[in-house]
A and B are shown apart, each in its own frame.
Chain A
Amino acid sequence: MEPRPRSFYVLSAFFALFILFLYGPTITIGILSFQGEGGGLTFPMRGVSFYWFYDLFEQQAVGDIWGSFRRSFVLGLMVMVVTVVVSVMGGLAFRRKFPGSNVLFYLIITSLVIPSILISLGVGLLFSQSGLNVHWSTSGFGSQLTWTLPFGLLIMFAVFNRFDKSYEEAARDLGATPWQTLRHVVLPIIAPSLIGVALFGFTLSYDEFARTLLTSGSYNTLPLEIYGMTTNVTSPVLYALGTLTTIFSLIIIGVFLCVALVANRRRARQGSDAGKGI
């Protein structure tokens, strides 16, 4: 191997600083959430304790944190499942040109770049003007899909751009029906990317704020609850909540990455499931 040029060390230092910039603040509130009982929003630490975590579990004066967490979790799962299914269907459909495919493509791009507050305002108006009640599981759910679907679809487009069609042709030549081809050839090949789509679907929904602002109705999702807290809570209990949800997010990311890793390993060991579809 040729020796590293000097620029490598300069760039390594830059990269390290970038990572510090990225993670430093989060780690700081992680540390500060263990602030002692009399401690404030910044250093110095006045002792180390779980006081603010207990506080989070006990007092419910600031709102319904656990209820909002449950709602966000359920909503995240709903958005995840729909995002995966709709993105795969959309990705498959977009492999061929169809009437209106260009319009639909630009709608997807619009959905991605439109300022979130317009979705919030528009869906809110749509529901109020048509006499429906806004609720996190209907209007909130739909609003979030306008944010997760473009990501899912862009991933699927990227996947199908690289997809080798001769696998499908081989399956068809061997007499597989279109459904069998999809189920036993296409889906297993694109499965790892679906884990990625699912990860996007869940986490983007779980953290979404702007699009649910006017569309979640009287029951808040967790990000809305946290945002509400920033205006009236000025104690490290905010950090404790932040630390907990960040840990939760990290666990979710970890689970998805592990699933991807295990799936890849299993596939490498066992090969395909070809022949099992008879």
Chain B
Amino acid sequence: MVSPLAAVLLIFLVLPIVLIVIVSFWRATEFSIIPAFEFDNYAFLFGSPVTYTVFFNTFKYAVITWACTLLIGFTVAYYLAFHIRSQTWQIALFLLCTIPFWTSNIIRMISWIPFLGRNGIANSTLMSWGVIDDPIEWLLFSDFAVILAFVHLYTLFMVVPIFNTMMRIDKSLIEAARDAGANGAQILWNVIIPLTKPGIMIGTIFVVTLVMGDFITVRFMSGSQSANVGRLISNDIALLQYPSASATAIVLLLTVLITIGILLRFVDIRKEL
């Protein structure tokens, strides 16, 4: 029963990773890549100050996006789970939140252009209100735009698991807390948030890995002005420098896996499904 699954994962996940590990020790010339066993690619990677800036940038994007998506995602899930009383409405509003997930990410990125551009809606609105005199230049093609796009694309990955765990909270626990004299804030802090932690963890895993592995959002929304690790890899690939791309990819993969490993200590995914 599992053989098709195992076969797909073996051919398209395990073998490629193994190959990337092997190629990361190879040597590249201008035209081809040559089998070898040398640590030059890693030495170059760790010797370059660019690497550290880029890794720092990657973590910066991940942390800021995580904080924003958690705050928005938790609030939305909380509203849906505890403030919407009819199940039909709950399902309808939940679907409304998830539909964009099934449409194209690239189109959703492109759709920020008319908003954020120099003559875009944001600038012209702010100017007509007299808030600013000249258009703000850093709206599009900046770190701000990158993070805005990340939050726009990935908040759903927070909403869904958090909503899912919240729906499984026994409502009588909340009544008990209220009977015991807790106010709304206390119920939220001492009952709901602790019980929602597994959902928060799963959402965190999604958001952090998606942001850390991204290269396209950063390239598009920063107008090629900012870089993260994914872009470093894709630039190397564009230059056909596969060995150096592979070395960077391996370091990125290890970083992501270590991060996930730490997060998984807090949650048992199989129990939460």
Chain A 69-87 residues near chain B, CB threshold 8 A:
85-86
**B interface majority secondary structure:** helix
Residues facing A in B1-51 (CB within 8 A) are 1-2, 4-6, 8-9, 11-17, 19-20, 23
Pair A43/B114 contact, Cβ less than 8 Å: yes
Counted as pairs of residues, one from A and one from B, with CB atoms less than 8 Å apart, the total is: 236
Is A42 a contact partner of B117 (Cβ separation < 8 A)?
yes
**B209 adjacent to chain A (CB < 8 Å):** yes
Q: Are A125 and B19 touching (Cβ within 8 A)?
A: yes
Is B262 close to A, CB under 8 A?
Answer: no
Also in contact, A118 and B249, with CB within 8 A (given A11-B78, A90-B5): yes
Q: How far is the CB of B253 from chain A (nearest CB, A)?
A: 6
Residue of A nearest to B6 (CB): A104
Query: B171: which A residues are within 8 A, CB to CB?
Result: none
Partner of B17, one of A14, A25, A122: A122
Using A43-B121, A115-B252, A242-B111 as known contacts, say yes or no to A249 and B2 having CB atoms under 8 A apart. no
Chain A residues whose CB sits within 8 angstroms of the CB of B5 once the complex forms: 86, 89-90, 93, 104, 149, 153
Q: Is B147 an interface residue (CB 8 A)?
A: no
How many chain A residues sit at the interface, stated as a range, is 35 or more
Q: When the two chains form their complex, are residues A121 and B237 in contact, meaning their CB atoms are under 8 A apart?
A: yes
Check A114 for interface membership: any CB of B closer than 8 A.
yes
Determine whether A195 belongs to the interface, using a CB cutoff of 8 Å to chain B.
no
CB distance from A247 to the nearest CB of B (A): 10
Any A CB within 8 A of the CB of B87: no
Closest CB-CB distance, A241 to chain B, in whole Å? 8
Q: Name the residue of chain B whose CB is nearest to the CB of A7.
A: B184
Name the one of B12, B80, B93, B111 contacting A25, with C-beta atoms under 8 angstroms.
Answer: B111
Q: Is the CB of A209 within 8 A of B253?
A: no
B202, closest chain A residue (CB): A154
Q: Which residue of B lies closest to A115 (CB)?
A: B213
B79 adjacent to chain A (CB < 8 Å) = yes
Q: Which residues of B contact A171 (CB under 8 A)?
A: none
**How many Å lie between the Cα of A203 and that of B106 in the bound state?**
13
**Which residues of the partner chain B approach A98 to less than 8 Å between Cβ atoms?**
2
Are A157 and B72 also in contact (CB < 8 A) when A89-B5, A119-B16, A146-B8 are? no
Question: Is B13 within 8 A of A114, CB to CB?
Answer: yes
Restricting to A1-44, which residues have a CB under 8 Å from any CB of B?
1, 4-5, 7-8, 11-12, 14-15, 18-19, 21-26, 28-29, 32, 41-43
B205: CB under 8 A from chain A?
yes
Contact A11 B19, beta carbon cutoff 8 Å: no
Q: Is A207 an interface position by the 8 A CB rule?
A: yes
Q: Which residues of B contact A107 (CB under 8 A)?
A: 9, 13-14
> What residue in chain A is nearest B164 (Cβ atoms)?
A158
Residues of chain A from 87 to 109 with CB closer than 8 A to chain B in the complex: 89-90, 92-94, 98, 100, 104-105, 107-109
Contact B12 A145 (CB under 8 A): yes
Q: Are A29 and B19 in contact (CB under 8 A)?
A: no
Within 8 A of B (CB), among A107-142: 107-119, 121-123, 125-126, 129, 142
Residues of B within 8 A of A207 (CB): 102-106
Contacting pair B75 A11 (CB below 8 A): yes
Q: In A167-212, which residues have CB < 8 Å from any B CB?
A: 199, 203-204, 206-207, 209-210
Chain A residues, CB < 8 A from B106: 207, 209, 223, 226-227, 230
Q: How far is the CB of A68 from chain B (nearest CB, A)?
A: 13
Contact B104 A249 (CB under 8 A): yes
Report yes or no: A123 in contact with B114, Cβ–Cβ below 8 A.
no
A125 and B20 in contact, given A26-B103, A109-B269 (Cβ under 8 angstroms): yes
Binding site for B on A (CB under 8 A): 1, 4-5, 7-8, 11-12, 14-15, 18-19, 21-26, 28-29, 32, 41-43, 85-86, 89-90, 92-94, 98, 100, 104-105, 107-119, 121-123, 125-126, 129, 142-143, 145-146, 149, 153-154, 157-158, 161, 199, 203-204, 206-207, 209-210, 213-214, 223, 226-227, 230, 238-239, 242, 245-246, 249-250, 252-253, 257
